[in-house]
Structure 1
Amino acid sequence: MTEQPGQTVVLTGAAGGMGRAITKALLDSGRRVVLVDRDAKALQELAATAGDAVFPIQLDVGDAKAVDRLPESLPAHFKPVDVLINNAGHDIGGRTRFDSGSADDWSNIIQTNLIGLMRVTRAILPDMVKRNAGHIVNISSINAVRIIPDMAAYSTSKAGVHMFTETLRGELADTAIRVTELQPGLTRTNIILTRYRGDKQKEKDYFDQFRMALEPADIARSIVFALDQPAHVQIAEMMILPVNRY
């Protein structure tokens, strides 16, 4: 493996549990991070702990016009973008049978997890193509390739991310740009709490069903592993699961 000091990374969903762990791992590896999140308060709290190596941008990936302005929002010392990590996502209203859930909830999940990811990628990728350099990391899920009942919208969004990533990698095959997909299993992040709209008991009950769960740092460490490979090595896809021991 080889270190890549001084790289600039744009990270969406930076202020959530997964995002915070990824931010720490990136900073520990010597990279600069553009922190992108729609939660302004949480974003500023995170930025305040990280010093000059981060630059916060409050942005909802579902806001098309704001996403289009993202490249011009970056200060000169955070350009060019070497790595884009598409981490923003949610399952608000999820873990509900499709016919019982809200059509608005299902639409919002798709808009954030898939359409938002594609929009951010479209905003950042042209400069990577121009420079013939860069790395895109998309956080998918085991839901992309496994059928899990009562998660139709979320799983559809992640299956879309999987196919988008595969297709993008094919389209960029003649370039030096690397494209990586991570498929985490159950991870202890706040996505479960937001799924149940802040109901801590439901969050606890959900995790109590399972023997083991990953920690956000496990995913962050895997991302850095993919980024640190030599330029001729592309980690195309990585599924990360907890060990199901008692």
Structure 2
Amino acid sequence: MVNATALITGASSGFGEALARRFANEGWRLVLVARRFGRLQRLQEELGGPAKVHIIELDVRDRAAVVAKLGERPAPFLDVSLLVNNAGLALGLEPAWQADPDDWDTMVDTNIKGLLYVTRAILPGMVKRNRGHVVNLGSIAGSWPHPGAHVYGASKAFVQQFSRNLRADLIGTRIRVTNIEPGLCETEFSFVHFKGDRAKAEELYRGNDPLVPEDIAEIINWVVKMPSQVNINSIEVMPITQTWGALPVKPVRAPSGGKP
């Protein structure tokens, strides 16, 4: 059984919730971070109570709150050996010229800036102890573009490159960095992506045998359990029903007012 502390953002549902259960079964102490405090309270009660699970209501977009609340962890939860930057989202399906800039701000503030704020808050302790592992949740959208994923995909490309550069910064330490890049996975992600259109979200998964959060939790558990000299840089994972698309070819309409 593990005698160490893991901090998981976005822990109230999806990957984060599955990770909390998986790591609790392995004996980890947990710091669970999310905006939906009621869900965190239920997880805390289920997974061993305050002695095993410390919960923090937090919006990772708020830098001052990240610094303050993560700095107030009780003593048993101070030495974080594993940070899982899981909080993130996609909003909207429109092409870039029709997208809502407020959605862009939310994705950038959560997927990029929130990840940075939490990492900056936790990493100094890891460096001081010369021990730790940062696992970032990226996406296949960070490598493979598709219509409507303009800012979301760009934000996950940032996570991919930040993870690589973080590894470069940490050379000479015993701290590991891994970027996990899932494909189609059945979580609340699509419900949020489609802005509450449950029928559209369910249609995406129907008959497609998607990944489930427990798959990702199992992969991350394997990554973390590798011998300490092994760093898994990245893992891209899709369901068997998903693959890369052919390069699209489509006739171009003439501009308004005549031929180009």
Structure 1 residue 240: Cα displacement = 1.2
Structure 1 residue 214: Cα displacement = 0.3
Comparing both chains, which one has the higher relative contact order based on Cα–Cα distances under 8 Å and sequence gaps of 6 or more?
Answer: 1
Q: TM-score, normalised by structure 2?
A: 0.89
Structure 1 residue 29: Cα displacement = 1.2
Q: Which runs of 5+ in 1 are unaligned?
A: none
Structure 1 residue 70: Cα displacement = 3.6
1:45 aligned partner: 42
2:229 aligned partner: 232
Larger radius of gyration: 2
Q: How far apart, CA to CA, are the structure 2 residues paired with 1:134 and 1:198?
A: 37
1:35 aligned partner: 32
Q: How far apart, CA to CA, are the structure 1 residues paired with 2:161 and 2:3?
A: 31
- After TM superposition, the structure 1 = structure 2 runs for residues 1-246 of structure 1, keeping only pairs within 5 Å, are 5-52=2-49, 53-92=52-91, 94-208=92-206, 211-244=208-241
Q: Which runs of 5+ in 2 are unaligned?
A: 243-260
Q: How far apart, CA to CA, are the structure 2 residues paired with 1:164 and 1:139?
A: 12
Asked if 2 retains the 8 angstrom alpha-carbon contact of 1:70 and 1:123, the reply is no
SS at match of 2:131: coil
Dislocated runs of 4+, deviation >3 Å: none
**Higher mean C-alpha displacement, 62-71 vs 20-29:** 62-71
Structure 1 residue 122: Cα displacement = 0.4
SS at match of 1:69: helix
Structure 1 residue 25: Cα displacement = 0.8
Q: How far apart, CA to CA, are the structure 1 residues paired with 2:14 and 2:41?
A: 15
Q: How far apart, CA to CA, are the structure 1 residues paired with 2:44 and 2:93?
A: 32
Q: How far apart, CA to CA, are the structure 2 residues paired with 1:84 and 1:189?
A: 21
Report the number of matched residues: 240
Asked if 2 retains the 8 angstrom alpha-carbon contact of 1:109 and 1:157, the reply is yes
| Amino acid corresponding to residue 35 of structure 1 in structure 2 | L
SS at match of 1:96: coil
Structure 1 residue 244: Cα displacement = 1.8
Q: TM-score, normalised by structure 1?
A: 0.94
**Higher mean C-alpha displacement, 181-190 vs 44-53:** 44-53
What per-residue deviation string (whole Å, max 9, x for no partner) do you get for residues 159-199 of structure 1?
00000000000110111100011001110010111122222
Structure 1 residue 150: Cα displacement = 0.7
